[in-house]
Structure 1
Amino acid sequence: MLASAAWQRQAEQSASGQCHAVCGRTRLQVARAAQSVRQLAHDLHAHAPLDQSRCAGQDVRGAAARAAGAREDRGGFVGLHEYQGASRWNWRSKKNGPQAIGKSRGGWNTEIHMVAADARTAVTFCLSPGQAHDAPEGRRLLQSLGPASRPIHLLMDRAYEGNETRQLALDLGFIPVVPPVRTRIEPWEYDRVMYKRRNEVERLFRRLKGYRRIFSRFEKLDAMYLGFLSFVLVADGLRGLC
């Protein structure tokens, strides 16, 4: 989910004194080819160490062959040391951590849910697997924002028009502005003119997807991907000041 909140920019709001928040969402395709390359590298490191005997020369192999008979006489095994440990290639730390990658009809992908104050100011964001529903993540972001100090308009994508999400927005002091789905038995009216401002968060995502590491997720762990996403948001915000 992408949402946006603007109470931090009170001085820049309209003369009416109302703040606006923008909601939206986007899906990012996961670079599956990168996952394959990463697995290939893991297999090479784990099971195919370099053959250093070729660099050692014939003398070393000859010496090893001459010593083989002596080891057999002592009850040992040819080619093994008595206290030989595991290969150092297997001493790498495991990459453990959350990985918000899921499979939907479009393949393996990740969803970014964001609260944005305007076209260049992201307030908070999170990740979810591609098959996950948007509404729970939207409520999670709203709860992380906490209660609003005064009424704030919250422009949300239609994916967040559920009763539970809208009620949570009202409980926190927001004024939800979201169109109802066409299957609603009792649809409601909403400010269509104000809702046009939701394109601000869409423009923000369009610029973010201009970065290949955002559009095609190469990082396996969420922590790494979120770190690069934060870096891109800072760079984009500074570019808007120039």
Structure 2
Amino acid sequence: MAFALTPGERNERATLPELMAKGAVPRAGRGRPRLRPRTVVGDRGYTGGPTRDFLRRRGIAAVIPQFRTEKRPRLVDWDLYRERNVVERLVGRLKEYRRIATRYDKLAASYLAFVQLAAIKLWL
């Protein structure tokens, strides 16, 4: 699992390449990732051409619902999309830690470190 922090006014769509690179585990002697997801599930915040193009170039299917205002209809696997609640539940569990929910830390590095520690604690 990988985490990336963004400024409050920046959407998470801009961090998709960074998150995909963090999740990649290089093979011995090669720069390509050993594990690549077959599908990326995201909420409507990830919809849009650049995100879909980024995933398509890498051969990754996108399960992202479209905005109601989009003209091109796209099919969405709603059964697979419902699996996204696992991540939403993790975020909810992380926010049980007051330090994460209120962001008392002044430095992004210390905040991210505590998020990672809390995730490890939940995982164990």
Interval of TM-score (by shorter of Structure 1 and Structure 2)? 0.7 to 0.9
Q: Deviations over 1:122-151 (max 9, x none)?
A: x11111111112211223212433457566
Matched, 1:236 2:116: no
Q: Find the counterpart in structure 1 of residue 68 from structure 2.
A: 182
Taking the aligned partners of 2:77 and 2:17, their CA distance within structure 1 comes to: 22
Q: Find the counterpart in structure 2 of residue 201 from structure 1.
A: 87
Deviation at 1:166, TM superposition (A): 1.3
Structure 2, unaligned stretches of length 5 or more? 25-32
CA RMSD of aligned residues (A): 1.7
Q: Find the counterpart in structure 2 of residue 125 from structure 1.
A: 3
Taking the aligned partners of 1:148 and 1:172, their CA distance within structure 2 comes to: 13
Aligned partner of 1:124: which letter? Answer: A
Taking the aligned partners of 2:87 and 2:11, their CA distance within structure 1 comes to: 19
- How many percent of aligned residue pairs carry the same amino acid? 37
Deviation at 1:192, TM superposition (A): 0.9
Runs of 4 or more off by more than 4 Å in structure 1? Answer: 146-151
Matched, 1:213 2:91: no
Q: Secondary structure at the match of 1:176?
A: strand
Q: Deviations over 1:62-112 (max 9, x none)?
A: xxxxxxxxxxxxxxxxxxxxxxxxxxxxxxxxxxxxxxxxxxxxxxxxxxx
Deviation at 1:169, TM superposition (A): 1.4
Q: Find the counterpart in structure 2 of residue 87 from structure 1.
A: none
Taking the aligned partners of 2:67 and 2:49, their CA distance within structure 1 comes to: 12
What aligned pairs does 1:68-87 form with structure 2 within 5 A after superposition? none
TM-score by length of 1: 0.45
What aligned pairs does 1:26-65 form with structure 2 within 5 A after superposition? none
Structure 1, unaligned stretches of length 5 or more? 1-122
Distance 1:148 1:194, change over 3 A: farther
Deviation at 1:154, TM superposition (A): 1.1
Matched, 1:159 2:37: no
